[in-house]
Amino acid sequence: MAKERRMPIESGCPDGFQYMHPTMLRNFGQWKYHTHPRVGVLCHVAESGDEIWTVRAGTQRILDVFTLRTLCDIGDKYADGHVRFTIRSNIEFMVDDESKVDPLIEALEAAGFVVGGTQNSVAFISHTQGWLHCDIPGTDASGVVKAMMDELVHEFKNAEMPNRVHITTSCCQINCGGQGDIAINIQHTKPPKINHSLVANVCERPAVVARCPVAAIRPAMVDGKPTLEVDEKKCICCGACYPPCPPMQINDPEHSKLAIWVGGNHSNARSKPSFQKLVAAGIPNNPPRWPEATRIVKKILSAYKEDARDWERINDWIDRIGWPRFFELTELPFTKFHIDNWRGSRKSLNASSYMRF
């Protein structure tokens, strides 16, 4: 073994302290309380008596250089030259004086940005990367977000919901995208179509076979070439075979649909964290405005807004009223596909690290 151990090369994100507003740096870990003077604005008060005002505006997440420069110019001119991004693609400007808040909001709105997304509003929808960065999306999550937020802008600017609402989208069925009060996710409805002439050139077949959660893929020979075959009775159309093997074509303009799930909650502030549950499936993946999915999300939100008690998140509300009442209030059809009675995983779920052939 070498005497001197080579130090790791740090290539992660840089130390955030160097970019922090001086008031935040001075009072790090010493915050006493915060208030919510208006939607999109938070005021944090430190033990020392210092105050910091945060103004939040939505952005499109995938930012072009022109927009970034516009936002940074606003930050230099109207804020104190410090910004940060939230996990939901909002930009936040920090100022240490209340008198700077209104001019900052005016400048943001004049440049076309929407201020809001705090407290019990519909926060900015979080989305995955879609066509721009990823190689497996079945829809453009960013497009779904844009189309929906255009229709939900009132709920972003006003805190009229019983509690905060976090909506998420995901552009494939297996990877990122997350737990949300409402989640709009891709749903494949047909097994992959295999392009046999490409498999031998493109895919590592053992890796693809091992990837299938229900062991539905087997090696095969077609026209004298090594390829794969899928047992369509077992396949659950998850799309997990497509990333390591693009010839397993699962994305389809007609059969890749959207599904809506509700009630996911990471927080355990008032009740236990909960998993989201499927409430609408087979919704057309219909760019550029996704009207069918947007209509359902709006229906769920309006039923929640009308019927939930103060501070109930969507999962708390459903726990109180029960699923039958949820389906009545939202007028969504309840079908046999909502009943999770699949027991296949007990026999076939590929939960070991061994490859199977």
Rounded to 5 degrees, φ, ψ at 25 are: -65, -45
Tell me the C-alpha to C-alpha distance, in Å, between residue 159 and each of 119, 153, 269, 302, 304: 6, 11, 19, 14, 14
Stretch that binds ligand SF4, among 1-9, 76-84, 125-133, 264-272 (CB under 6 A): 125-133
Tell me the C-alpha to C-alpha distance, in Å, between residue 347 and each of 247, 327, 350: 28, 33, 9
Q: Is 91 in the site for ligand SF4 (CB under 6 A)?
A: no
Q: Is 237 in the site for ligand SF4 (CB under 6 A)?
A: yes
Nearer to ligand SF4, 140 or 316 (CB): 140
Stretch that binds ligand SF4, among 33-41, 123-131, 198-206, 340-348 (CB under 6 A): 123-131
> HSE-up of 197 (CA within 13 Å, CB side)?
0
Q: Is 105 in the site for ligand SF4 (CB under 6 A)?
A: no
Q: Is 245 in the site for ligand SF4 (CB under 6 A)?
A: no
Q: Is 212 in the site for ligand SF4 (CB under 6 A)?
A: yes
Asked if 55 contacts 41 with a C-beta cutoff of 8 angstroms, the reply is yes
Q: Is 94 in the site for ligand SF4 (CB under 6 A)?
A: no
Let me know the angle formed at the C-alpha of 170 by 64 and 239, rounded to the nearest 5 degrees: 125
d(CA 270, CA 186): 30
Q: Is 235 in the site for ligand SF4 (CB under 6 A)?
A: yes
Residue type, 160: E
Stretch that binds ligand SF4, among 65-73, 232-240, 314-322, 340-348 (CB under 6 A): 232-240
CB of 55 to ligand SF4, least distance (A): 29
d(CA 91, CA 83): 7
Nearer to ligand SF4, 123 or 208 (CB): 208
Q: Is 128 in the site for ligand SF4 (CB under 6 A)?
A: yes
Q: Is 172 in the site for ligand SF4 (CB under 6 A)?
A: yes
